[in-house]
Amino acid sequence: MDKENKKELGLGKSAALPERAGIPEEYKWRLEDIYPTQEKWEEEFSALKARLPELAEFRGTLARSTARVKELFKLRDELSITLEKLFVYANMRSHEDTADSKRQGPANRISALSVEFAAASSYVTPELLSMPKERLEEFSKAPELSEYSFGLRELLRRREHVLSEAEEMIIARAGDMAGAAENAFSMLTNADMAFPAIKDEKGKRVEMSEERAVAYLRSRRRAVRKAAFESLYSPFCAMKNTLGATFDGMLKGAKFYAACRKYASPLAEALDADDIPLSVYDNLIDTIEKNLAPMYRYMELRRRALRVRELQMFDLYVPLVADPFKDIAWSDAKKMMFRFLAPLGEEYVAQTRRGLAEGWVDVFPNRGKRSGAYSWGSYATHPYIFMNYTNNLNDVMTLVHEMGHSMHSYYSHKSQPYATAGYCIFTAEVASTTNEVLFLSGLLAETKERRRRLYLLNRRLENIRTTVYRQTMFAAFEREAHERAAKGGDTTPEGLKELWYALNRKYYGGGVVINEQLKMEWARIPHFYTPFYVYQYSTGFSAATALARGILERGEPAAKKYLSFLTKGGSDHPIELLKGAGVDMSTPAPVEAVVREFEETLDEMEALI
């Protein structure tokens, strides 16, 4: 942040956070681009609510003609676009100041209206699937329904897994019960758990939360890291039976839904949503597990760099080099992003400049502002980026990451009709991570000073360790846990602890001490309550690394293919979309490429340390 802005916003190290009203407009997003006033939001909310009954007029008539189907789809799109716009505005307003209760009301009301909309349109899919297969195929090939063709073909592809209207209603109503395990896990870990206090680097006693404990695992003082580790896992070990019960509830819920929808397994159900072959999941795990030797080398390098006799699990997150990138002004952060995203072309960079100048980003923290960062928006709006920028390299890379998502949305919404503008997680993480990889590669290319270079090399190694190796280990754990649940295997807390121990021993090697407390780490991973989600972090990072390397090596031709991919939204299955961009995730090649990058980075770091 520029010095004058630091002073103006009161964001010095010891200063209190400013009120929202004290943030200059140039650092706030422009939600007025969506609705100029809250009154305009209220008007459109009321108008949308009044129109929901229009959906019922089409019930029982869809088989008549393609014209009738198109009329319904257009109506549903129109209402859905408005609903999204209302939803985004209300929630982003509430995130500006979570302490302002007046902002929460609209967010709650639009959530309730979303449920009403879903109920009003819930008959559409069952009614379409009740038609003879030949009739639905005819609709999928009709020129007047061309923008809906992919969605109709998807209905046909997944036809055997969609139940009758009555059965679908039962499944929907079971949703609250199925979510009980995750809700219990969330309340237990977020509200009820108490983490023992520790002493910080200055010997001061500090209260702990899960987030604080994780932050202290990066401490330069080993005793503090050890204390934070023990504090973090203490309540999870104490509550292993309760956590085991919530995890078992999730396993049983996943098994129930897969069986109801006639899938061979929960894994098959999860991958089928985007037509991802099972081989992609298995190839990821097999390829990484054949390439664990570089990880063992990195662990030995980390042990030597930290000058410890034995590397403990609480030693894995501390940077090997202190962060030399301090006090990066917002103006400099933007310049860095523009410079290092230049390989994507002048038009891409020019649009990011326009976005930042035209109110896409909410930059600085203020009192009551929600924590974290995200990219959001709707089909009817430009993208928005929510940040809490605090002048460090992490925040610069957060901007770069979220801009990747925003530019994906920008190109997709600009090029695709509403029906195919949305993209799935499998491809979403590619767009954001490609930006990150390009940024870090560019920063490394211009960094010659040894300590700065070591810091960046270590950061790249950690990115790959935590996003590819670690998330793949998570994927292997999920696969085995769900297989045990299906076959009556050991899914008790003790059984899962031993499985987690075995996987950590395999992935990190014999040179790392696997602490007893770490055996409960599986119990603190919230993503496991969305089965078979985490593997997409590994595949996304692998695809992004391959794409970024291609752009840097081959220049404009590779960049053009990548930008074309960004325009495709959800118009095809993600594997096919990525093939068009130049990477084939149905083969081990992209995962092997990221392993090579890990090895090459490790080679240089070993030479410099």
Q: Which residues are catalytic?
A: 402
Instruction: Return the structure tokens found at 413.
Output: 């919404």
Instruction: Return the structure tokens found at 126.
Output: 């069952």
Instruction: Return the structure tokens found at 154.
Output: 């998807």
Please check whether residue 271 is in contact with residue 171, taking contact to mean a CB–CB distance below 8 angstroms. Answer: no
* Nearest Cα residue to 359 out of 37, 26, 29: 29
Burial class (CB within 10 angstroms; exposed 0-12, middle 13-18, buried 19+) of 149: middle
Instruction: Return the structure tokens found at 67.
Output: 């014209």
* Nearest Cα residue to 303 out of 465, 501, 512: 512
Q: What is the 3-state secondary structure (H, E, C) of 52-72?
A: HHHHHHHCCCCCCCHHHHHHH
Please check whether residue 152 is in contact with residue 145, taking contact to mean a CB–CB distance below 8 angstroms. Answer: yes
d(CA 576, CA 582): 10
Burial class (CB within 10 angstroms; exposed 0-12, middle 13-18, buried 19+) of 166: exposed
d(CA 340, CA 400): 10
Encoded amino acid at 71, one letter:
E
d(CA 396, CA 467): 19
d(CA 568, CA 409): 10
Q: What is the 3-state secondary structure (H, E, C) of 429-488?
A: HHHHHHHHHHHHHHHHHCCCCHHHHHHHHHHHHHHHHHHHHHHHHHHHHHHHHHHHHHHC
Cα–Cα distance list, 304 to 138, 301, 308, 310, 332 (Å): 66, 5, 7, 9, 35
DSSP state of 326: -
Instruction: Return the structure tokens found at 38.
Output: 């809250």
The residue written with tokens 């996304």 in the block is 540
Strand partners, 195: 208
d(CA 389, CA 328): 10
d(CA 269, CA 206): 45
Burial class (CB within 10 angstroms; exposed 0-12, middle 13-18, buried 19+) of 469: buried
Report the half-sphere exposure of 289 (CA within 13 A, side-chain side). 17
What phi-psi label fits residue 569: left (phi over 0), alpha (psi between -120 and 50 degrees) or beta?
Answer: left
